[in-house]
Amino acid sequence: MNLSLSVRAAIVSVAFLVFFLAGWHIATRGTGTAANMSPEYARLMGATATQGKSAMPGPLDVGEKLWEHIKSPFYDKGPNDKGIGIQLGFSIARVLFGYLLAVALAIPLGFLIGMSPLMSKALDPYIQILKPISPLAWMPLALYTIKDSNTSAIFVIFICALWPMLINTAFGVAAVRKEWINVARTLEVGTVRRAFTVILPAAAPTILTGMRISIGIAWLVIVAAEMLVGGTGIGYFVWNEWNNLSITNVIIAILVIGLVGMVLDQILARFTRMVTFPE
């Protein structure tokens, strides 16, 4: 065995996939009893009822449908039927918008809390109460007060992405080694300059970890929010296909959501590596 670890890991991964797909295929082959019915009646019924076909699609059905989506990801057949690529675009745009708003608020506020023990104590109860609220609990309130469904979705992203970043920033800032701040102080560095040249680089890895957690949460939330308000986005796609009880398309959407979530996470992970420093 002179294969490297990653090659061996890849082989095991593929083996798992093949095993899973085979199991799935066998489980959904559909050997249910084909009901006895007249041809006229059967014409009016679906395949599940007539041929005893499993209600769960098999991997081949999903693959076939996936290929269709990949062939034309950007079609637009009206306001309620757009290609999966367009829907993803809508979702990503919403997530980025809400997320950047959250970044714009969380980092300065986190700095303030981290640098001032007074603010930290004063704001702590609010943060603790607001942090665990489920994103969807905000939805009716947002719809009612903001009076715009798209803005409401962005607001929900914003409010959910805010907390991990805020808490991590505050923690990172507060945990900067006292020696470094003291050195800066001896050199008579002003508060603003100190914040940017000493604290920011020192706290950056923690801040970015918070941002990475937040983007994951934002992506989780968007699907739920779009299922609720509908209109556009990958969440709406899931809802629309659920409406048609098309499990095949729902599985494809799950796959795509997972892929995009992974890509977003990896981008942030790369940024984190860029600012990490050895101590």
Our CB check for other proteins shows the closer of 172 and 233 to be: 233
Our CB check for other proteins shows the closer of 155 and 239 to be: 239
Our CB check for other proteins shows the closer of 103 and 223 to be: 223
| Shortest distance, position 45 Cβ to other proteins, whole Å | 6
Our CB check for other proteins shows the closer of 202 and 225 to be: 225
* CA–CA distance, 38 with 41 (Å, rounded to integer): 5
Site residues (CB under 8 A) for other proteins? 35, 37, 40-41, 43-46, 48-49, 55, 77-81, 140, 143-144, 147-149, 227-231, 236, 239-245
| Shortest distance, position 230 Cβ to other proteins, whole Å | 4
Our CB check for other proteins shows the closer of 85 and 216 to be: 85
Cβ neighbours of residue 167 under 8 Å, at least 6 residues apart?
110, 127, 131, 210
| Shortest distance, position 132 Cβ to other proteins, whole Å | 24
* CA-to-CA separations, 99 to 24, 76, 157, 210, in angstroms, rounded: 37, 27, 7, 12
Bridge partners, residue 76, by sequence? 82
| Shortest distance, position 23 Cβ to other proteins, whole Å | 22
| Shortest distance, position 170 Cβ to other proteins, whole Å | 35
